[in-house]
């Protein structure tokens, strides 16, 4: 039996993509699967979870110590294939290769581009840091065995030619998690819109708060703010009176919130990789799973998807008047809301679910095992 070890030094315990999708799918396919992650050690769903204890205390501790601790734990597993999930683990991939291991890097985002928009990096050196990281990443990836990335960017694979084996594996939902729990009889919050996930300026939260006030609706927000300063900035806005902040939500609470809201929103600002990625965000898929029409940021890929599947409306994410007008129009048209919601669920059932994507992951593993 091939032994596989996934490693994350940054993600929360039982991360949806890492644990519930990739690790569990591999275990069901017959691999002996280990996951090194923060927290305690235990077994669940056929996966051996190897605990790292408490999470890192800030970004510096994460980069200086968390990766090294995760690597040491992973060595104890002595796996045949190692699957890395964080950029700070890339260097350890070369160490594992020197030990004769096969190594996969799972790039959850296109980090070389995202670095240019990280608020914690001084603006004057972001471009330089991004360029250095890009060269460093290319050097290492050419020496690894496999690469996983969620989507094409502007129609191309940004990592083409980096590794012998690559797979585009989208982070789509599992049907049993949300889709199968849809209940059309649940009473909705009146005139409600929701967004659950990372609450950042770049994800359009500021503009969405302003639009909700203009539309005279209630915006339900769940997730962590990008910083205490950003949270304070939002709370100081008079428009924040139209917000119900739910805090960090577990999966049952996510289900309840999506069930009870009338509209979903994912009005990400068109910066970084957000307007080049040829996929929908995970939060959009989750909203579609529970029959919420979705208001999305307008760029060519989103436009094509909305035109094809008719599950929502695209808007200029910085035009609060346009966003507010769309919110008002949809909330005043229950028949259109129902039609879009049904279309979204149909698309999830037929195309955008983990049962489709896991086959790509399993095919990549088979290629690497046979190489």
Alpha-carbon distance 114 to 218, whole Å?
A: 31
Give the list of residues 6+ apart from residue 235 with CB closer than 8 angstroms, or none. none
Compute the residue count for the chain. Answer: 371
pLDDT confidence of residue 112: 63
344 closest CA partner among 261, 287, 299, 281: 287
Examine the pLDDT at 124 and tell me if it is beyond 70.
no
For the chain, the helix, strand and coil percentages under 3-state DSSP, each to the nearest 5: 45, 20, 35
Examine the pLDDT at 129 and tell me if it is beyond 80.
no
Q: What is the DSSP letter of 39?
A: B
Q: How confident is the model at residue 90 (pLDDT cuts 50, 70, 90)?
A: very high
Using alpha carbons, list the distances in angstroms from residue 289 to 121, 180, 227, 256, 342. Answer: 36, 8, 30, 13, 9
Do 310 and 318 form a contact (C-beta atoms < 8 A)? Answer: no
Examine the pLDDT at 127 and tell me if it is beyond 80.
no
Q: Which residue shows structure tokens 């017959």?
A: 30
Domains in the chain (CATH in brackets) are: 3-172+353-370 (3.40.50.2000), 179-350 (3.40.50.2000)
pTM: 0.84
Residue 36 three-state SS? strand
> Taking residues 218-240, what's their average pLDDT?
97
Query: Between β-strands 102-106 and 146-149, what pairing exists: parallel, antiparallel or unpaired?
Result: parallel
Using alpha carbons, list the distances in angstroms from residue 130 to 87, 127, 338. Answer: 12, 5, 44
pLDDT confidence of residue 199: 96
First to last CA, the chain: 16
Least confident of 9-23, 242-256, 263-277: 263-277
> Taking residues 143-149, what's their average pLDDT?
95
Q: Which residue shows structure tokens 């035109």?
A: 307
Q: Which residue shows structure tokens 């644990």?
A: 19
pLDDT confidence of residue 328: 98
pLDDT confidence of residue 278: 86
pLDDT confidence of residue 275: 66
């Amino acid at each position: 039996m091939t032994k596989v070890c996934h490693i994350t030094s940054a993600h929360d315990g039982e991360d949806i993509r890492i644990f519930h999708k990739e690790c569990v799918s591999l275990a069901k396919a017959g691999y002996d699967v280990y996951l090194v992650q923060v927290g305690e050690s235990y077994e669940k769903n056929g996966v051996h979870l190897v605990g790292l204890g408490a999470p890192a205390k800030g970004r510096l501790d994460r980069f200086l110590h968390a990766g090294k601790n995760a690597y040491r734990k992973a060595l104890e597993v002595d796996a045949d294939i190692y699957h890395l999930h964080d950029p700070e683990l890339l260097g350890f991939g070369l160490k594992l290769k020197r030990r004769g291991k096969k190594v996969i890097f799972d790039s959850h985002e296109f980090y070389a581009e995202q670095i240019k928009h990280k608020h914690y990096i001084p603006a004057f050196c972001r471009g330089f840091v991004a360029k250095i990281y890009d060269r460093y990443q290319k050097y290492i990836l050419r020496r690894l065995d496999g690469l996983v990335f969620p989507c094409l960017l502007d129609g191309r694979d940004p990592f083409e030619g980096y590794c012998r084996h690559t797979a585009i594996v989208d982070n789509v939902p599992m049907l049993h998690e949300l889709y199968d729990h849809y209940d059309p009889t649940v009473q909705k919050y009146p005139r409600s819109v929701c967004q659950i996930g990372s609450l950042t300026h770049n994800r359009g939260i500021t503009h969405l708060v302003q639009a909700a006030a203009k539309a005279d609706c209630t915006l339900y927000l769940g997730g962590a703010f990008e910083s205490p300063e950003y949270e304070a900035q939002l709370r100081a806005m008079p428009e924040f009176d139209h917000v119900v902040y739910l805090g960090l939500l577990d999966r049952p609470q996510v289900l309840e919130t999506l069930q009870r809201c009338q509209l979903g929103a994912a009005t990400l600002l068109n910066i970084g990789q957000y307007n080049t990625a040829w996929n929908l965000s995970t939060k959009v898929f989750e909203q579609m799973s529970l029959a919420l029409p979705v208001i999305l940021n307008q760029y060519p890929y989103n436009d094509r998807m909305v035109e094809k599947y008719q599950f929502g409306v695209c808007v200029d994410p910085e035009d609060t008047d346009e966003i507010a007008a769309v919110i008002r129009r949809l909330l005043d048209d229950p028949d259109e809301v129902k039609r879009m919601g049904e279309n979204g669920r149909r698309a999830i059932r037929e195309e955008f679910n983990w049962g489709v994507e896991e086959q790509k992951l399993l095919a990549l593993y088979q290629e690497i095992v046979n190489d």
